[in-house]
Structure 1
Amino acid sequence: MFDLVLRGATIVEACGTLRADLCVSDGRVAALLDPDTPAAAKVERRVDGCYLLPGLVDAHVHLRDPGLTHKEDFTSGTRAAAAGGVTTLLDMPTDEPWTDSVDTFVDKQRIARGRLHVDVGLQVALRRDATQLEAIRALGPVSFEIFTADVPAGYLHDTQASLLHALRSVKPLGTLACVSPGDQSILEAVAKGGVVEFLASRSPLAEATGIAKIILAAAQAQTRVHVRQTNSALGIDTFRRMRGLADVSIETTPQCLLFTADDYATQGADLKASPPMRTAKDRDALLAALRDGLIDIVATDHAPHSRAEKTAAYASFADIPGGMPGVQTLLATMLHFVATGDIDLPALVRMCSTNPAQRFGIGERKGTLARGRDADILVLDPRLDTRIAHADQFSRAGYTPFDGMRVPGRLTAVYLRGTLIDESGRTATPEPTGQVIGATKHGFA
C-alpha cells in the first residue's frame, strides 16, 4: 500500500511531460502509474487538470543565520521557501561569522536543526589561508564559494594566482567550486557616489573580465566551476565564447531578467544589489540566453535586509545594504516567462530544479520526480493565477520587488518527502520537517 497517490495530473520534468498518477512511499516517489491504474493508498488525492513539478532547488540563498537574524533566519526564510515551492535551498556562507571552517559549519547545522520548513544544503566560504578542507568536505557542503571582489580581505581572491590556487585546492575534494565574477581593481578605481558610480564600479567589463578569468583558471586547474549570477550582455557573450574550455555552468536571477537600471528611479534602495541592474540591452541579451538554453540555473540570490536598514540615509548608493528577498517568488516569476513564451514548463524545471540539484551534488535525491527520488512535489493549477503582493511575503524583509505582478498558474500544494507542508500559502504541518542535507555526486547527467 502506498502512503499517497496523486491522480489526474500531468508530470513535468526537464525532458518533457507525462500523464501519470504519482505514488509515494516512505517519503520517496515509489511509482508512476498509467492514469487511473488501481492502487491502494493511505491517502488518495485527485489533482485533475494540474501539473506536478519537482520541488524547486534555489541554489543561491542568504538565510542570514547565524548572527544576522534581524534580517532573516532559518525559520522565516524556509517558511517563505515552502510557500513559494522551493523545497530545497542552498544557503550561502556570508553570515556572522562566515561559514568557513569545521566549527562554523557544525554550529550552523546545530542552529538549523528543528527549524527548517524545507531542506537546506550548506555552502562554505574559501579563505585565502584555507585549512581543514578535507575535514570540511567530510561534512557534506554542496559547494565551496570563492569571491573575486567586494568582500573582506581574508576571502578576496582578486588575482589570477590566488584564484588558480583556490580552484586547485578544491579540485581533489570532488566538490563544486562557485565563483562570483568581478574585478576588484575596477571597483576600487571608482569613487563612491550615486547610482551612476555604483554601476561603473561593477561594470559589464568587470563582470566579463571575472568570467574570463574564472573559466581560464578552471581550465588550467581542471576543476568543476559554477559562475554566480551574471546579467550583462558582455558577460554572457564572454561565457558563450569560452564555456567550452572548462566544466563550467552559470546562473542568473529573476530580478536581472525583469528589471533595468531605470527601475532604480522607482524602487531605489529596495532594488539595490550586486550585480546592479543594467540596461535594457543587457536584459534583452540575458533573456535571449535564457531562451536558447545558455543559462544553466536561475536562482534568486535571496538576501533580505530589515526595512530600517533599507530605508536609512546613506552617504552613497554603494553603502546601502545590497540584496532583496526572492525565494518565495522564484516559481511565480519564472511562470511569467512561461506566459511570455520565453520558456516552457520543462525548461523551468530544468533551470530551477534538475540542473541545480545535479550540479550541486544532490541530484540523487532532488530535482526530478523519478522513482526513488525524494517526493518533493508541487501541485500547480494552470486554471488559476497568482498575484504577487507585499502582504503575502513570509520573509522578514516584508516586501517583494515584484509586488503587483500577476502570472498564470497557482501553486496549490507543496509536499516535502511526501508530507504536505503548504497548501495555498498556508502552513500544513504543525512542526518544521526540513533537514540539512549534504552533497553526494556533482555534475550534470
Structure 2
Amino acid sequence: MFETLIRGASVVNAEGLSRRDVGIASGKVVALITAGEAAEAGTVIDASGCFLLPGLVDAHAHLREPGLTHKEDFSSGTHAAALGGVTTVLDMPTDEPWTATAEQLADKMAIAEGRIHVDVGLQAVVSRDLSLIPRLLDLAPVSFELFTADVPDGFLFATVDAVAEALKAFAGADTLVGISPGDQSILAGSTARHRSGTIAAFLDSRPPLAEANGIARALVAAASSEARIHVRQINSELGVETWGRLRGMADASVETTPQNLFFTTQDYETQGANLKASPPLRSPHDVDALRAALSAGLIDIVATDHAPHAPAEKAARYAAFADIPGGMPGLQTLLPTMLRLVDEGLIALSDLVRMCSRNPAERFGLGRRKGRMAAGYDADLLILDPRRSSTIDSADQVSRAGYTPFGGWTVKARLTSVFLRGREIVRDGRLIRPAQGKIVTRES
C-alpha cells in the first residue's frame, strides 16, 4: 500500500514522457505503475490531464546568508524557490564571510537547519590557501567554486598557471569545481582604457573575448589536472563556439541562465539597474547563437544565478554603471521562463527536465536521489496543468529583491502543486507547510 498515489498524469523525465501512476511512501517514489492499475493508497491525487515533473534543481543561486540577509536569507530565498518549483537549491559561497573553511561551511549548515523550505546543497569557495581543501572535502559540499576575475585577491586565480595549480588539489577527489570564465587581464586593461562609467564601459570590461578565453583556459587546465569542472553561465557566440570546439578535452559541463536567453543589451534602456549583472547582456546575435546551442543540446544546465539585492540598493544613484550591485532574483521564475521556451518550441518538456533537474543533480553529486522520477528517488514532484495559463507578476515575488525582470510574461501552463519528499508544500501558488527542507551533501 502506498502512502500517496498520483494518478492520471503524464510523467516527464529527461528521456521523454510516459503515462504512469506514481506511488509514494516514506518520502520516496516507490513505484511507477501502469496508468489505471489497481493499487491502494492512503491518499489518492487525481492529476488527470496534467504533467508530473521531478522538482527542479537550481545549480547556481545566492541565498545571501550569513552576513547579507538584508538582501535575502535562507527562509525567504527557499520560499521563492518552493513557489517556483525548485525543490533543491545549490547555494554559492560568496556571502559574508565567504565559505572558505570547514568551520565556515559547518556554521552555514547549522544556520540553515530548520529554516529552509526546500533542500539546499552548499558550495565552498577555493581560496589561495589550498591547504584548506581536504577538510572542506570531508564535509562533502556539492561543489567548489574557483574565480578567475573580479573578486578579492584572496580568491583570485588570474592566470592559467594559478588555475591549473588549484585544480591539481582536486585530482582524484570525488567533487566538482565551478569556474566563472572571466579574464582579469582584460578587465584591468579595459578599465584603464575606458573610464566613462557608462553601460558601454561596463560591456567593454567583460567582452565575449574574456568569456571565450576563460572557457579555453578552464578546459585546458582541467584536462592537464584531470579535475572535473563546471563552466558557469556563458552567453556569447564566441563563448559558445569555444565551448563547442574544446569541451571534449576535459570532464566538463556548462550552464547558462534564463536572462541570457531572453534579454539583450537593448533591454538596459528600459530595465537598467534591475538587469545589471555579470556577465553583461549581449547582442541579439549572441542571444540567437546561445538559443541555437540550447536547442542543439550543447548547454548542459540552465540555472538562475539568483542574486538578489535590497530594492534600495538597486535604486540608488551610482557614479558608474559598473558600481550598481550585480545580480537579480530568479528562483521563483526558473520554471515559467523555461516553460516560455517550451511554448516557443525551442525545447521540449523533457529538455527542461534534462537541463533543470537531471543534469544538475547528476553533475553536483545528487544523482541517486534527485532529478528524476524513478523508484528510489526523493518524491520531489511538480504537478503542471497545461490547461491553465499563468502570468509572472512582480507583486507575487517573495524574494527580498521585490521584483522580477520577467514581470508580465505569460506561459501556457500553471504549477498547481509542489511536493518535497512526498509532502505537498505548495498548492496553487501558496506555501502550505512550515519549513521542510534539509541540507543535502554530495553522494560518496
Partner of 2:97: 97
Instruction: Quote the Cα distance in structure 2 between the aligned partners of 1:169 and 1:419.
Output: 41
Instruction: Quote the Cα distance in structure 2 between the aligned partners of 1:244 and 1:104.
Output: 35
Partner of 1:415: 419
Instruction: Quote the Cα distance in structure 2 between the aligned partners of 1:177 and 1:302.
Output: 19
Please point out which of 285, 298, 301 is paired with 1:297: 301
Cα RMSD for the two superposed structures: 0.7
Partner of 1:312: 316
Partner of 2:281: 277
The amino acid of 2:68's aligned partner reads L
Instruction: Quote the Cα distance in structure 2 between the aligned partners of 1:257 and 1:197.
Output: 22
Would you say how many aligned residue pairs link Structure 1 and Structure 2?
A: 440
Instruction: Quote the Cα distance in structure 2 between the aligned partners of 1:165 and 1:129.
Output: 12
Instruction: Quote the Cα distance in structure 2 between the aligned partners of 1:386 and 1:210.
Output: 39
Please point out which of 254, 260, 264 is paired with 1:256: 260
Instruction: Quote the Cα distance in structure 2 between the aligned partners of 1:76 and 1:393.
Output: 10
Instruction: Quote the Cα distance in structure 1 between the aligned partners of 2:184 and 2:15.
Output: 40
The amino acid of 1:424's aligned partner reads D
Written as runs of structure 1 = structure 2, the 5 A alignment for 1:371-390 is 371-390=375-394
TM-score by length of 2: 0.98
Q: Is the 8 A contact 1:144 1:170 kept in 2?
A: no
Written as runs of structure 1 = structure 2, the 5 A alignment for 1:135-174 is 135-174=135-174
Instruction: Quote the Cα distance in structure 1 between the aligned partners of 2:59 and 2:272.
Output: 26
1:4 to partner: Cα distance: 0.4
Instruction: Quote the Cα distance in structure 2 between the aligned partners of 1:205 and 1:421.
Output: 44
1:181 to partner: Cα distance: 0.3
Instruction: Quote the Cα distance in structure 2 between the aligned partners of 1:301 and 1:24.
Output: 32
The residue matched to 1:190 in structure 2 has which SS? helix
Instruction: Quote the Cα distance in structure 2 between the aligned partners of 1:106 and 1:219.
Output: 31
The residue matched to 1:72 in structure 2 has which SS? coil
1:190 to partner: Cα distance: 2.0
1:374-425 per-residue CA deviation (whole Å, 9 max, x = no partner) reads 0000000000111001011010000000000001111000000000000111
The residue matched to 2:368 in structure 1 has which SS? coil
1:173 to partner: Cα distance: 2.2
1:131 to partner: Cα distance: 2.2
1:193-228 per-residue CA deviation (whole Å, 9 max, x = no partner) reads 110000010000000000000000011111111000
The residue matched to 1:383 in structure 2 has which SS? coil
1:428 to partner: Cα distance: 1.5
Q: Does 1:61 align with 2:66?
A: no
Please point out which of 311, 336, 343 is paired with 2:340: 336
1:271-327 per-residue CA deviation (whole Å, 9 max, x = no partner) reads 000000010000000000000000000000000000100010111000000000001
1:131-163 per-residue CA deviation (whole Å, 9 max, x = no partner) reads 232221121101110000000000000011110
1:42 to partner: Cα distance: 1.0
Q: Is the 8 A contact 1:140 1:437 kept in 2?
A: no
Partner of 1:437: 440
1:310-351 per-residue CA deviation (whole Å, 9 max, x = no partner) reads 010111000000000001000000000000000000000000
Q: Is the 8 A contact 1:303 1:324 kept in 2?
A: yes
Instruction: Quote the Cα distance in structure 1 between the aligned partners of 2:90 and 2:170.
Output: 18
Instruction: Quote the Cα distance in structure 1 between the aligned partners of 2:252 and 2:10.
Output: 32
The amino acid of 1:347's aligned partner reads D
The amino acid of 2:442's aligned partner reads A
Partner of 1:425: 429
1:236 to partner: Cα distance: 0.4
Q: Is the 8 A contact 1:128 1:162 kept in 2?
A: no
Over the matched positions of the two proteins, sequence identity in percent amounts to 57
Which runs of 5 or more residues in structure 1 are unaligned?
none
The residue matched to 1:322 in structure 2 has which SS? coil
Partner of 2:350: 346
Q: Does 1:239 align with 2:249?
A: no
Written as runs of structure 1 = structure 2, the 5 A alignment for 1:83-232 is 83-191=83-191, 192=195, 193-232=197-236
Partner of 1:398: 402
Q: Is the 8 A contact 1:54 1:353 kept in 2?
A: yes
1:47 to partner: Cα distance: 0.6
Q: Is the 8 A contact 1:134 1:173 kept in 2?
A: no
Which runs of 5 or more residues in structure 2 are unaligned?
none
Instruction: Quote the Cα distance in structure 2 between the aligned partners of 1:4 and 1:101.
Output: 42
Instruction: Quote the Cα distance in structure 2 between the aligned partners of 1:66 and 1:231.
Output: 30
1:130 to partner: Cα distance: 2.4
Partner of 1:48: 48
Q: Does 1:359 align with 2:363?
A: yes
TM-score by length of 1: 0.98
Partner of 2:325: 321
The residue matched to 1:173 in structure 2 has which SS? coil
The residue matched to 1:384 in structure 2 has which SS? coil
Instruction: Quote the Cα distance in structure 2 between the aligned partners of 1:141 and 1:361.
Output: 9
Partner of 1:21: 21
1:9-65 per-residue CA deviation (whole Å, 9 max, x = no partner) reads 000000001101000000000101111111111111101000000000000000000
The runs of at least 4 consecutive aligned structure 1 residues that moved more than 2 Å come to none
The amino acid of 1:199's aligned partner reads L
Q: Is the 8 A contact 1:194 1:316 kept in 2?
A: yes
1:172 to partner: Cα distance: 2.8
